[in-house]
Amino acid sequence: MEEMGFASKPYILIAEDQQDIARGLALVLTETGAEVMTTSTGEQALEYIMRNPVDVVITDIRMPGIGGISLLEKIKEHRPRIEVIVLTAFGSIESAIEAMKKGAYHYVTKPFSNDELLIVVRRAVQEKRFHEELEYLRETVGKSYAFENIIGRNWRMQEVFETVRKVAPSRAPILIQGESGTGKELIARAIHQNSPRAKHRFMGINAAALPESLLEAELFGYKKGAFTGADYDKKGLLVEASQGTVFLDEIGSMSLAFQSKLLRVIQEMEVTPVGATEHVNIDVRFIAATNIDLEKAIKEGAFREDLYYRLKVVTIELPPLRERKEDIESFVSFFIERYNKEFGKRIKGMNEAAKKALMDYHWPGNI
């Protein structure tokens, strides 16, 4: 679901007895990169989720047999981590509210716009993955982002780790620079996990993956009636990430107009939802990342100098793999161990010819 800002595809199940609506929903979601399955009854939907991975279920309130409310109850009983979005006709808001009380993530009123649906689905998937991530981190006590588990024998990476140790306890904004594939988000998560904010949310947002109008609505929130499809007030991600860390990837892709708005947010620690006049206070730590030369972008008039200096209170430069080739064998060992477990293999290593080929390779795109 790259267009919606997800690194891996979500699995979405549609339970809708009106085939034209089901096909339309499936088309919209499939085009964003999601894996979509449709069923026409609640019974079929329940049978499917018991046997297959599902992130989000979109169900009509009214269906023959098991209706949307009953399906919701059974999902929460058997697969409580699945987020459920209910579709309701205008005038059936009472049923939607009942569904919310029973654990539905949200409801969408027919007729709805594609943008409205995508916003709700995106957030539902993000909510599910947040809880899965939080549980995983609690179970592993943060070991995933401990420095000893991040590959980096190279002296420049050791300097990066030392910088992270020093700045993690603060709330200073951080700018991470490096080519694609150098591990910018991994370092951002390590900073978060080793900070006082570790018990709260890490919110990763790819600025290049969303159109600007949607990015503003997502980050700042919006008021009912602010635009077509804004049928309810919605908190922005910066508010939802309260006391946590916000990672803004591909910061260089933002327009100058949006950069101006973001600068004010970072300076004042408050947002103004789209369509609102009142400000909302926020408490987040900003970490930004880019794979472009922002100083060059400033000279070309494509990036605001004041935002640049506001973000680079601390700067972390990540070297490309071709400049840290002593780490290649460690990466190979890591991936061999990982995929041996995943695929039941017993690969022990690589021969000298393979080592030489990897060491001679230029590594465009890194890892």
pLDDT digits (tens, 9 = 90+) for 287-346: 999 999 999 999 999 999 999 999 999 999 999 999 999 889 888 988 898 888 888 888
Q: What is the mean pLDDT of residues 136-159?
A: 67
In the chain the first and final C-alpha atoms are separated, in Å, by 20
365 — alpha (psi -120 to 50), left (phi > 0) or beta?
left
E strands in 90-186: 106-110, 174-177
CB within 8 Å of 219: residues ≥ 6 apart: 205, 236, 237, 238, 271
**Which residue did the predictor score with more confidence, 226 or 27?**
27
Q: What is the mean pLDDT of residues 37-63?
A: 91
Per-residue pLDDT at 277 exceeds 70: yes
Q: What is the mean pLDDT of residues 172-185?
A: 94
pLDDT of residue 44: 92
Cα separation values, 104 from 33, 81, 334, 357, Å: 24, 11, 40, 52
Average of per-residue pLDDT values in the chain: 87
E strands in 8-136: 11-15, 35-39, 56-60, 83-89, 106-110
Q: Is 127 exposed, middle or buried (0-12, 13-18, 19+ CB in 10 A)?
A: middle
Residue 175 · residue 314 · CB < 8 Å: yes
CA distance 231 to 218: 15
Q: What is the mean pLDDT of residues 3-14?
A: 70
β partners of residue 366 = none
CA distance 325 to 323: 6
3 state DSSP class of 294: helix
CA angle 249, 226, 277 (to 5 degrees): 85
Q: What is the mean pLDDT of residues 95-105?
A: 84
Q: What is the dihedral of CA 139, 141, 144, 145, to 10 degrees?
A: 150
pLDDT over 70 for what percent of the chain? 92
Q: How confident is the model at residue 353 (pLDDT cuts 50, 70, 90)?
A: very high
Q: What is the mean pLDDT of residues 267-295?
A: 93
CA distance 256 to 273: 19
**Which residue did the predictor score with more confidence, 13 or 113?**
13
Per-residue pLDDT at 132 exceeds 90: no
Bridging pattern class, strands 314-317 and 202-206: unpaired
Tokens of 55: 């992130």
Q: What is the mean pLDDT of residues 113-126?
A: 86
CB atoms within 10 A of CB 27: 11
pLDDT of residue 110: 81
Per-residue pLDDT at 90 exceeds 70: no
3 state DSSP class of 88: strand
Tokens of 348: 């022990």
pLDDT of residue 342: 83
Q: What is the mean pLDDT of residues 125-149?
A: 63
Q: How confident is the model at residue 139 (pLDDT cuts 50, 70, 90)?
A: low
Per-residue pLDDT at 4 exceeds 50: no
Q: What is the mean pLDDT of residues 47-53?
A: 90
Q: How confident is the model at residue 150 (pLDDT cuts 50, 70, 90)?
A: confident
Q: Is 148 exposed, middle or buried (0-12, 13-18, 19+ CB in 10 A)?
A: exposed
Range from 21-30, 39-48, 127-136, 157-166 carrying the lowest mean pLDDT: 127-136
CB within 8 Å of 65: residues ≥ 6 apart: 41, 42, 43
